[in-house]
Structure formats: C-alpha cells, structure tokens
A and B are shown apart, each in its own frame.
Chain A
C-alpha cells in the first residue's frame, strides 16, 4: 500500500511518537540531567558533574549491586529455563492430568508478585515456616535461615522468582515443542535414535529460537525484580539482595538522593541496552540475517 500524500505516515505516527517522547525520551533526558546534580527535592539542586557516578563507583555500591543482580538473574534464567523445558517435555501429552498440571504450574505466573512474596515469606520463615519444620523433621537440626543469612537470601529470592515465572517458560516451550515436526522425530526413531538422542539432535536444535526467547524474557523479568525483594528482604540482609531496581528505589524514595538514583538508573539503562543489543544480535545470527 502506498500513501497518497508523503506526509501521511508521519501524521499517523505522531500520536505514538508523542507518547514515546512524553513517557520515554523526555524522562530519559531528565534522568541524564538529574544524574549530574546533587538534589534532595527540598533544597535547590547543585551541579556536581560526574560526582554521583564517581561516588557510586568508589563506594563499591555499583559493582555490588551489579554483581547481586547478575547472580540472581543468572540463577533465574538458568533455573526457569531448565524447569520450564523439563516440565514442557513431561507435560507435552494429551490427557486431563497433564492439562491440570500445566494449568497449576502456569497459575503461579498470574499471581501478583506481592502475594508471592508474602506467601514465601511465611513458607521460608526459619522458625515457623513449613520448609523449616520439614527440615527439622528430616534432619533433627536447626533449619537454615533462608532470608536472614546473606549467603542464602539471594538464592531464596532467585528460587521464588523461578517458581513464579516457570509457568510462562513452560507455555512457551510447549508451543515450541508443538512446532517440532513429528515426521523428523519419527524418522529419527525409525533410524534407531534413542529418546535422549532424538532430544539432543532434533528437538533441542529446533527449540533454539524458543529458548532464546525464553532466555530474553526471563532475563528481563529477573532484571526488573523488585516486589519480591521489597516484601521479603528489603534488600537485606547486609544488602545481599539489593538488586538494581531496589537500589534505585532506595536511593530515590528512602534516601531522597535524586542525583545518585538517576546515575544508578543511567548505568542500569546502559547495562540493559547492551544486553538487549546482544540478544538482538543473537536472534539475527540465529535467523541467518
């Protein structure tokens, strides 16, 4: 279809561009500007150049937040993909039981993050939680303090996130599995390939675009982690679960350091930009573009 007047596409794009400008480009510009000031909202802003970035770097906070986010994200991406794929392989069959389990696993995905946080806060309680009671029953020893031990808390948060988003990975992998041509699988079977070999040589290579998609969405979900941290650990103990979004929230809303929070958000934006570019590049390489 061809536009009757040259300006038509631009007029039609204008509402979207306007929304994009108001809610994305303009705030982004403000974010960059604020990152160069020291400001607490109450007293006049003071220009400090790159001091906010230097301070974040020198205090080790930036690196610590990045390392924490990356550790939790890696666990979430790996865990949700593995669990999602395993469940998809198990549940890719007709029948009421499989349908029920599929729905049950996916239902976690539609529960709100805050509810999930509260639920696991109770389940993981080292004194009165079900998990602790089970631990004591089996080992007759003291249950680990999942949310009070800096060595365990990040993994507890990651596990909760995996539990929450695995249903989504399951659904995507199921649709991916249904796209795998049965004829190829049957041919492989006739050639004497075992189930493991069929998965390794047929299913897995054909699932790669799906895997990449699941990896991207899990990565985004894990980098946006906030609610569970806010409800379960408030970034502690000893900042062991202070992920990027929570760190920005803390700087901005609790410490009211607009400049430093903006600087942290700019860095976070940069990291996400690099990750997105890498994902896009991988997608295109996959498609042979």
Chain B
C-alpha cells in the first residue's frame, strides 16, 4: 500500500503536471502586446505555422503571438463562434472562405483597410477577397488570404507509367482511365478516389457549366449541371472505378489520402494542401495534375482567410494587423507554400519562386497556381455555409452511396435552401 504522504506527493505531482500541460503556451514577455491566434492546421502545416509565429516573435520586441490549435476547420469554427458569443474570442483566427460572408454580415469581423499596409498587399486577386467572391472588392476588406488552395488530382506515377496512361484531361478520359486502373477482387484497387464532399462537387458543377448561385441570386445548386456533376460520381461508383472513402468531413479526406498512399486508389482528388505530405509519404512518384474539363475547365478555391475579431481591444487588433503584414512578406509566404503545398498568395512571392527556379524543380507545385486561371468565385452569400453543411452535403452522400436519384435530391435541397433559417 502507498503511504499517505507518498500518495499526496504523487497526487500533487500529477495535478502539477496537468496544470503545466494546460499552461504550455509560451508566456508573453513583459511589455509586449499579446495576440491570441486560434488555428486549425494539424501535422506539418501546424509545425510550419508555429515556426513562422516563432519567427515573428523573435523578429521584433513589440508584439507577441500566442498560437493555439483548435481542431479542424469545422471544430475551430464552432469554438470561434461560441467564443465570440461568450466574449472570450481571440484577436486573430482563420476561417474557411464559405463562412466569411456570414461572419462579415454578422458584424463580428474587423474591417482591415484602415490598418497600415494591409490594403496595399500585392495579393493574387483570385486568392484574395477581391475575386474569391463575386464583387468581393465592393465590400469592406475583412479577410486576408493565407492558406489558399484548389482541388488537384494526385496520380500514382508508377501505376500510370505501367499502364501507359496520362492524367485525364476530360470527364470522358477520367472514366476511361479510372476504369483501366481499377482491379476488382478481394483487395480491390480503384482507379479513382474522391471524398464525397461539397468542394469537389462544386468543382464538378463548374466543369459541367453551372454555378451554385445563379446570376440573379437564385440558389440553383447548378440546376442541370449539378445533376450531371453528381451523375458522374454515381456512374464511376456503379462501375467500380471510384471509391467513396468512409467518414465525414476531414476524416474522409484523410481516408482518401491513405487509400492513395497504400495503392488502393491509383488517382485521387484532394487539396493542394496535401502535396508535400503525399510527396513525402508515398513510396512511388506522385504526379500532380489539374482537374479534367467537363464542358469547360473550372475549380473553386479553398482554404482559409485570416480574420481579426472586432471584439478585441484596439491595441491587440493593431498588433494582429502587424502580424498579418509580416505573414504576407515574401519570405513567410514562400516558407509556408513551399513547405506545405498551399498556393503562394502574393505576386512577389510567385515572382521570387520563379526567379529561383523553384517551379522548374517542383512542377507539382505549379499545378494549383496554374489552375487559378479557371478559378470561379464564390457567391457572397450569408447562407452559403448553411447550405453546404446542412442541405447539400448529406444529399451528396445519399446520391453517391445509396445511388438515389440526383435530380430529386437536388430539387429537395433547393427547396430547403429557400426556407427561412
């Protein structure tokens, strides 16, 4: 039996360890303005971000950024919204593009144009507020890009070379290539894998010639193009050429990556964000390729934007703005994009990389950047996030996994999208 004194000592050590674990953040040095930053990157991306934060903290003595991991995008967003209500929100965070209009219209985002230097950043228009949303530049600047992406195709170079195939450039080629690379059996291999996720469906809708919101503002969910987009997935799954990975949200993305790395899927669609991870983990040559065209080429942009919360004290918001300026300097942008796979968000960073010959040495990194030529803007819609999560996403799964009628499901979704919230 443990003596009472020893028991109490061990208890105290245990409580102390827990307390130390909870307080593992670097303390803010005296005299510096604290900037609390909530972020949602895991793995390598987290390491890179934390190294950039350290670089900022070491580069000056005025401000100090404390970065705290808050789970994946959706978990982080839930915490952020709850914290805003509880009046304990951080100064700075980053959110997915689809949610920016909702947060902006709710009046919780700080307009950024008034902070020195933030309006003058040489951001690539397709990645900034200006062209990420329809008429984005007509609204007060409230979001700055950092980790921006497009969906791209990842090919197992070995399997493609063995089959003498090239990256599909059209939907027809996608069908053929996926079929040729599929092998049925007890341990089947699928020619194609893609998370049944809104983002990839939006890409397909664009490629089929449609858009989520019509020009007159009607929520169309692509109309006939939306059905054609879903039809392509349904057809590929029925043919046994496509594996819809299990799990929802980012669990499905991770599963899709694992299918690719283990050779269970010869080609996947995923975010450019996973480029460095997949290149590092794969035991075969990874080839990145642009998404194929339907009636035209199109991709949505993805990833997140920096936002400063209006509720924070003025001094902290000014410090956050200084941090954002630092993060948009070429060296930081280059470090971030070359170590993660995200698209560099400023023109200077791209020019510098070109001059250094980076893209000649790393052709995979150029794919997402080049795809910006066909990137389509999102509608500035407050309801976009609700439509995505509550209405469309479950019906995409139903159409593909249960092979239900795509047209009926999308009609149902359109009707629900029109209902008052």
Contact = CB atoms under 8 A, between A and B. Distances in A.
A234 interface: yes
A42 B246 CA distance: 33
Given A43-B106, A238-B394, A255-B386, A148 B244 contact: yes
A244 to B, nearest CB: 17
Contact of B416 (A59, A127, A136, A237): A59
Interface stretch (B119-127, B181-189, B212-220): B181-189
A41 B246 contact: no
Contacts of B78: 253-254, 256
B246 A145 contact: yes
Contacts of B416: 59
Contacts of B386: 255
A211 B81 CA distance: 45
A262 interface: no
A162 B264 CA distance: 32
A136 B188 CA distance: 11
Contacts of A255: 386, 389-390
A236 interface: yes
B369 interface: no
A235 B248 contact: yes
A43 B84 CA distance: 11
B85 to A, nearest CB: 4
A38 B247 contact: no
- Give the size category of B's interface with A: 20 to 34
A27 B288 CA distance: 53
B248 A236 contact: yes
Nearest to B79: A253
Contacts of A256: 78, 81-82
A88 interface: no
A140 interface: yes
A128 B262 contact: yes
A15 interface: no
Interface string B33-57: 0000000000000000000000000
Contacts of B402: 150, 238
A136 B246 contact: no
A239 interface: yes
A148 B259 CA distance: 14
B407 interface: no
Contact of A234 (B81, B85, B251, B419): B251
A208 interface: no
A237 B81 contact: no
A165 interface: no
Contacts of B185: 142
A55 B188 CA distance: 43
A271 B248 CA distance: 28
Interface string B230-252: 00000000000000111111010
B355 interface: no
B106 to A, nearest CB: 4
A253 B394 CA distance: 17
Contacts of B421: 38, 40
A141 interface: yes
Interface string B12-50: 000000000000000000000000000000000000000
Nearest to B83: A41
B397 A236 contact: yes
B108 interface: yes
A41 B82 contact: yes
Interface string B371-398: 0000000000000001001100010011
B85 A42 contact: yes
A236 B82 CA distance: 25
A127 B264 contact: yes
B342 to A, nearest CB: 24
Contacts of A234: 247-249, 251
B270 to A, nearest CB: 18
A274 to B, nearest CB: 28
B106 A237 contact: no
B259 A136 contact: no
A118 to B, nearest CB: 12
A235 B397 CA distance: 12
Nearest to A143: B186
B74 interface: yes
Contact of A254 (B103, B389, B397): B389
B262 A237 contact: no
Nearest to A141: B186
A258 B23 CA distance: 31
B353 interface: no
B287 interface: no
* Among B85, B249, B421, residue most surrounded by chain A Cβ atoms (within 10 Å): B421
A36 interface: no
Contacts of A142: 185-188
Interface in A123-148: 126-128, 136, 140-143, 145, 147-148
B247 A233 contact: yes
Given A55-B419, A238-B397, 19 more contacts: A38-B421, A40-B81, A40-B421, A43-B106, A142-B188, A147-B246, A150-B401, A233-B246, A234-B251, A235-B248, A237-B246, A237-B401, A239-B394, A253-B82, A254-B74, A254-B78, A254-B389, A255-B386, A256-B81
23 contacts: A38-B421, A41-B85, A42-B81, A42-B84, A42-B85, A59-B416, A127-B264, A148-B246, A148-B247, A149-B401, A150-B402, A233-B246, A233-B248, A234-B247, A234-B248, A236-B246, A238-B401, A253-B78, A253-B82, A254-B78, A255-B390, A256-B78, A256-B82
Closest 4 CB pairs of A and B: A148-B246, A41-B85, A234-B248, A42-B106
